[in-house]
Chain A
Amino acid sequence: MTLSEEELAEELADGTLTRPPSRARMVAGRFFRSTQGLIGFAVLALMFLLAFVGPLFSPWTYTDKDFTAFMQPPSARHWFGTLQTGSDVFAVTLRGMQKSLVVGLLAALVSTALAAVVGAFAGYFLGWTDRVLSWVTDLLLVLPAFLILAILSPLFGSGQWPLFVVMLALFLWMVTSKIVRGMAISVKEREFVQAARYMGVPPVRIIFRHVIPNLSSLLIVDATLNVSSAILTETSLSYFGFGIQPPDVSFGTLIADGSLTAVYAPWTFWFVAGLLVVTVLAVNLVGDALRDAFDPSSGKA
């Protein structure tokens, strides 16, 4: 039962000096050991590669118009065919994908992070912090998000997409934050949080080290769902002409246009729609694998 000091020293000397197995390293290891996570991650990486490197291989840019080919099906000259205006579908699709991937992923991350932080602070501190934060949450919940976005849309001119991301995120986090607050209250009562408090860990660090990681299942599922809903919100905004402004394109504008011609010129619609579905699927795979990697009770390490 009791090791003498010499034995102890001996044991530590032979111990291979591996790097300490901290949580971040364990989670990364578990994530990349799951096939699901690997596939999702690879597909997502491919999509980014396609969106940002793909245009370099295309003879057309998204603003070019081929006046010799209107509404042509895919061919060697136009890989995905052309639109009514003579735009190359491949070029505009990739351009739209650049915007949608960045906007969708960022908006989802920002909104989930916001939800986690606001909810956890409100739930952990309670009292006045909770009252103020809950009031802000409720206020944003009752404001008609679509209307505000529509009014502010002139601001999202070219190059202003970061602002657009923030605005999108600002209207996605409230419900999750309310759930997080409730769960944070119950996590706060758990003994390991008490143990950390009695150890002298500052409250803010307890929130980031103990409370939020223990809500990670919920947060990851929420972030995954938010990616699709951010892309779709952006899509519907753009559909009404508020989001991404022409000549720039996004998945939203493309799907809106393509849906009109989808029946007799399927290439104008199906490539965009297909890529959207693949993106969302890949994000879901990554989310599932991340959730399992964070949750030590699932499967075997």
Chain B
Amino acid sequence: MDEPVLEVTDLTVSFGDVRAVRGVSYAVRPGEVLGIVGESGSGKSVTSAAVMGLLPPGARVTGSVRLRGKELIGAPERALNSFRGKSLSMVFQDPLSALTPVYRVGDQIAEAVRVHQRVGKETALVKAIELLELVGIPRPAERALAFPHEFSGGMRQRVVIAMAIANDPDVIICDEPTTALDVTIQAQILEVLKRAQAKTGAAIIMITHDLGVVAGFADRVLVMYAGRPVEVGGVDDIYYRSRMPYTAGLLGSVPRVDRRGRQPLTPIEGNPPSPAALPPGCPFAPRCPMHVSACDEEEPPLFEVGPEHRAACIRWQEVHPRGPGRHAAPSDGPRLRARGERSVLEVHQLVKDYPLLKGAVFKRRIGTVHAVARVSFDLRQGETLGLVGESGSGKTTALTQILELAAPQEGRIVVLGHDTARLSRAERTEIRRDMQVVFQDPLASLDPRMTVHDILAEPLRTHGRPDSGRRVRELLALVGLDPAHAARYPQDFSGGQRQRIAIARALALEPRLLVLDEPVSALDVSIQAGVINLLDSLKARLGLSYLFVAHDLAVVRYIADRVAVMYLGRIAEIGHVDAVYDHPAHPYTQALLSAIPLPDPERERSRERILLEGDLPSPANPPTGCRFRTRCPKFRTELTGEERELCVGVEPEVRPVGEDQGAACHYADRRGVG
């Protein structure tokens, strides 16, 4: 076995009195991928910043970081600079801020080369173009002359990776490299990272909160909680034989895209502790389902629980995770229930264009963004329709059109039996009472200057319901919050609690239709599960209908009855969730589903991905005919020239392909995706 290339021993970082990282140790060998997983505030990013020596001056770092045997902690800045970018490089989360906007990307990569290698400008530029080709940027020589803003998010992240591997580093630290990207782009970037690793033989430290990404990518995993590693081991050990209740809880709280059935997720109760006020003993004890009094006595060390597998729990022998294999059991055929009779929302051939304007004083119309192009769907009483798509697919525009309750540009929207084009004032007020909305970011959607009581009382007052004090307490209890907290401001709550407040506000008037715009995507996994469970149980108890907009397909599979997949302003596929997820008929749905990383290492290794090439085309200038044809794997590989003509010339409409499933593809055929 090789010598470790990077060895971190007992690393601690403190900011003033707050200890953000408390004793992290790990080692990576060349060619190995170490995944560091943790929720926000677990200290995973601070750890990597400490390794790079990139912490602000106020931070105190102790312990040891050895890169090929050389100590980095306390090394002079000049010595560090000779390592950074050469033997130790980093890929950041936000590729836009990681690139300088005023330089051409080719020059930026060439600069990265020239800082550490004595080569001429031309040689460096040639090397830069080679690197761009390696990370899969088409026409690299041409694109090297472009500026960062001319690239899409995925392409920018490729450029950042090209810079990171420019000097054949020994270790690449990736800090949430795909979090800001759409799932099909994420799959591309992970592929590029694998290729980059194969080329350079570097070790990769992959920091992420996404358990799926780690499962398919990492060899070993380090789980962090409250600034400490709580479990370290091989990827299979962590996923199938975890010995720490936190890891088991984290895995149990992830909704799975490959599972049908509605067992409630098991959320982890409570919130992560603040690093300034850690509980005595095990930091996870207050949230732990296996908590005994001995847990509060002292913080458990990492016990050796198996070969190369350590966990920080005094009861590790008793932790038996319900393995991912077990709850796949109830697959009782597609549950195609009869759909409800009454429809609460009908959208028919909806169109929304935005003009593209140019000029400051005299605005000229230079084009049109076709944000939503003839979209139709309907939602019945008691049903949940998931609207999924990547950014730019038009799902938010469609949602806003519905919420505005104004006459659409073209098409028809019927909300609760009323056509929005012919609404009287009184009818509009009535619909506003029966249709409520929950936004993505609870902090932005709750007025920071209002107490929780005022926030919850606002809909009641607006629609003239008296006795708000009692109702507010009822609502808080309904969403699982303490009614005594009504006097607090939204800032005093954690993210998950804030989202519960937003849900309580939406429920205040006992609506019939709830529009949920990415309600859980801003939350940590363990918190997210609690909110999903809440939404699910509320729906059953209050007889609600949900229009659930999300980009996370796993969450949608978990909560929705039917799903509509959008691509570039059109519906690509619509139907019952089990039908669409198990046997997608549209090539885009197939690619989307296969791009989602599963928190299941064995399946990740065996599955075959359908990788989409390139980016979403601009909605201002969509391709003729089928909008997906430019990226369609079927169009490119399976169809004959004659068949392709239909794709280029005629835009496909949604056609039924199964009992409750329709796809907008001329050559749709249902197939399972691994």
Interface residues of A (CB under 8 A from B): 1-3, 8, 11-12, 15, 17, 19-23, 26, 190-192, 194-196, 198-202, 205, 209-210, 213-214, 216, 294-297, 301
Contact = CB atoms under 8 A, between A and B. Distances in A.
Nearest to B430: A200
How extensive is the interface on chain B, given as a class? 35 or more
29 contacts: A1-B267, A1-B534, A2-B480, A3-B480, A8-B477, A11-B477, A11-B483, A12-B473, A12-B477, A15-B483, A17-B469, A20-B453, A21-B486, A22-B457, A192-B444, A194-B439, A195-B445, A198-B436, A199-B436, A199-B458, A200-B429, A200-B463, A209-B458, A213-B447, A213-B450, A214-B448, A214-B449, A296-B491, A297-B489
Given A1-B530, A11-B477, A192-B446, A301 B468 contact: no
B236 to A, nearest CB: 32
A8 B480 CA distance: 10
A9 to B, nearest CB: 9
A109 B541 CA distance: 50
Interface in B461-482: 462-463, 468-470, 472-474, 477-478, 480
B458 A201 contact: yes
Nearest to A12: B473
Contact of B472 (A20, A198, A202, A294): A20
A198 B454 contact: no
A195 B443 CA distance: 12
A213 B449 CA distance: 7
Nearest to A20: B469
B487 A26 contact: yes
A296 B448 contact: yes
B489 A12 contact: no
B314 to A, nearest CB: 28
A296 to B, nearest CB: 4
Contacts of A297: 448, 489, 491
A3 B439 CA distance: 24
Nearest to B533: A1
A1 B529 CA distance: 11
Given A20-B469, A191-B441, A200 B449 contact: no
Contact of A22 (B448, B454, B474, B488): B454
Interface of B: 267, 403, 428-429, 432-433, 435-437, 439, 441, 444-451, 453-454, 457-459, 462-463, 468-470, 472-474, 477-478, 480, 483-484, 486-489, 491-492, 502, 505, 530, 533-534, 537, 541
B454 to A, nearest CB: 5
A1 B451 contact: no
Contact of A216 (B449, B463, B492): B449
B426 to A, nearest CB: 11
Given A1-B537, A214-B448, 8 more contacts: A11-B477, A12-B474, A19-B469, A191-B439, A194-B445, A196-B458, A199-B436, A213-B450
Q: Which of B429, B437, B441 has the most CB of A within 10 A?
A: B437
Closest 10 A/B residue pairs (Cβ):
A200-B432, A21-B487, A296-B489, A191-B445, A20-B469, A191-B444, A192-B447, A213-B449, A2-B537, A21-B453
Contacts of B432: 198-200
Given A23-B450, A213-B449, A301 B488 contact: yes
A162 to B, nearest CB: 32
Given A15-B483, A213-B449, A23 B454 contact: yes
A8 B453 contact: no
Nearest to B537: A2
Nearest to A190: B444
Nearest to A210: B447
A8 B469 CA distance: 15
Q: Which of A22, A200, A297 has the most CB of B within 10 A?
A: A200
B451 A201 contact: no
Contacts of A213: 447, 449-450
A116 to B, nearest CB: 14
Given A3-B478, A21-B487, A195 B449 contact: no
